[in-house]
Structure 1
Amino acid sequence: MSAPLRVLIVDDEPLARQRLKDLLAEAPDMALVGECRNGNEAIAAIGSERPDLVLLDVQMPGQDGFGVLRALPPGHAPAVIFVTAHREFAVQAFEANALDYLLKPFDRERFRTSLARARDRRRAAPSSLDSELLARLESLTLPKPAAPYVTRLVAKVGWRMRFLQVEDIDYLTAEGNYVAVHVGKQSHLTRETMAALEEKLDPKQFLRAHRSLIVRLDRIEEVEPLPPGEYVFILRDGTRLTSGRSYRAQVQRALELPT
């Protein structure tokens, strides 16, 4: 028989950790190697214990679940099942290659289904030696492809997720912990930072013109310079947006304005 899957539990709620431990105890091929109360503990435990599977909460003090994954060295992340009471992070979880997204409260059968996915993942995975050799060969022989820019964004609409085509977006503005994506007369909130969205959007199509503004270049119909080094963009529909003074140079480059 193969060795049991080594499992790490990460959740800031003691009762939630206890329930996961009780359910894991019913699976003889699963071995609990530790439990963590926050993201920082999880990062340290993953480095020291090298678990095969992490049952990971999303919202925790300090580093959240996605922050934990970002902090791990490339190629060394274990399989992850997100366990959370927040359904709005499901799309982001699967974009992070999570095995499953367990929404609290869940029953015993649903938990067993998640563990079955972890078992299937292990059976389908190549040996660690093969993976390491393949990674080394690829790093020596293949250039790393540039990350493709996204063609759609995901916005939260009540309990649902709405997909917004990038080609339909007029501009984006920061709204507290969210970014408002403006499409015509409608706006939709997405839980991403302006910096993250700037990385995902093609700079040939979108311009970061303010710390709180990204605008689609082909929507700009007129530009009015302001004395302090700012610019007013007048979009096709008449919307007026103002750039930030510190973004003056990149606005001039993107729009080929005189310096």
Structure 2
Amino acid sequence: MITCLIVDDEPFAREELAAQLADAPDIEIVGQCGNAIEAMQAIGKLRPQLVFLDIQMPRITGMELLAMLDPDTMPRVVFVTAYDEFAVQAFERHAFDYLLKPVNEQRLQQTLEKVRRDLRPQPVATLAPARLEHLPCYSGQRLKVVPVPEVEYVFSDIGGVHVATAGEQVHTNMTLKVIEEKTPLVRCHRQYLVAPGAIAEIEMRSAGAEILTRTGARVPVSRRYLKSLKQLLGFH
């Protein structure tokens, strides 16, 4: 069975595509999501092999969501779009496949045949934005979109990956690796990333150092990353 996730902010569009996929005996729909934050959580938890992804969604678009996925574990992504054929041709060379809304049954079957023939995830990094503007986070039952400029530091522990701003700490399903590659945050410790603009001072210690942020938070710095961090800030 090919596990599948449908991501679209329009409930009718999700249900219509789900009804069409129901006729494929080897496709299992493991979930439906109405926005990118829900999709990030579902992809991390369900690990679908195939994602039907709407491009035009509020706050975080399908393109931005694509950039947030870890390339090492990324599923096949099929874009579902209302763009006209000329716009589709602009990214057709990079995406695994695309479907135009309303989804044509014959065209959907062609997409499924491509998926069946090629089980390995396709490289779509050339289509994804090089930098992220927001991080999809959550705190309890609240789904939050955190602008990257508001992030002071990010760290991982046994509870997952946490995003710290001046006002709160929230959780994200993104990995430190992807955040490091897609944002201005820099590595200061194996388990920590920090925003250079949030650093007020660095306190030198025998076993490394500690950052004091502009809001008073303390972030560890390991010896491995101390030299590069000092150079980044203009110290030699």
Question: Cα RMSD (Å) of the superposition?
Answer: 4.2
Tell me the equivalent position of 1:170.
Answer: 152
Q: Which structure has the larger Rg?
A: 1
- Please give the secondary structure, in 2, of the residue aligned with 1:233: strand
Confirm whether residue 95 of structure 1 aligns to residue 95 of structure 2: no
| 1:190-230, Cα deviation, whole Å (9 max, x unpaired) | 1121112111212xxx22101211111111111122223x2
185, 190, 193: which one aligns with 1:214: 193
Structure 1 pair 247/124, CA: closer, same or farther in 2 (3 Å)? farther
| Structure 2: gaps of 5 or more residues | 5-16, 32-41, 54-59, 67-76, 81-98, 111-125
| Maintained 8 Å contact 1:152/1:166 | yes
Counterpart code for 1:164: V
Q: Larger % of helix: which?
A: 1
Contact 2:137 2:172 in 1 (8 A): yes
TM-score normalized with structure 2 length = 0.53
Task: Decide which structure has greater strand share.
Answer: 2
Residue in 1 that maps onto 2:136 = 154
Q: Which residue of 2 aligns with 1:242?
A: 220
Which structure ranks higher in relative contact order (CA pairs < 8 Å, sequence separation ≥ 6)?
Answer: 2
1:189 Cα deviation after fit: 0.9
- Deviation of 1:243 after TM superposition, in Å, equals 0.6
Report the equivalent of 2:13.
none
The equivalent residue for 2:29 is 55
Matched, 1:191 2:161: no
Q: 1:56 to 1:187 in 2, by over 3 A?
A: same
- Looking at structure 2, the residues matched to 160 and 98 of structure 1 have their Cα atoms a distance apart, in angstroms, of 28
Aligned CA distance change for structure 1 residues 59 and 232 (closer, same or farther; 3 Å): closer
Q: Percent identity?
A: 18
Separation in 2, partners of 1:244, 1:124: 56
Q: Which ranges in structure 1 are unaligned for 5 or more consecutive residues?
A: 1-7, 12-23, 36-53, 70-78, 82-89, 101-116, 129-143
Change (3 A) 1:218 1:30: closer
**TM-score normalised by length of structure 1:** 0.49
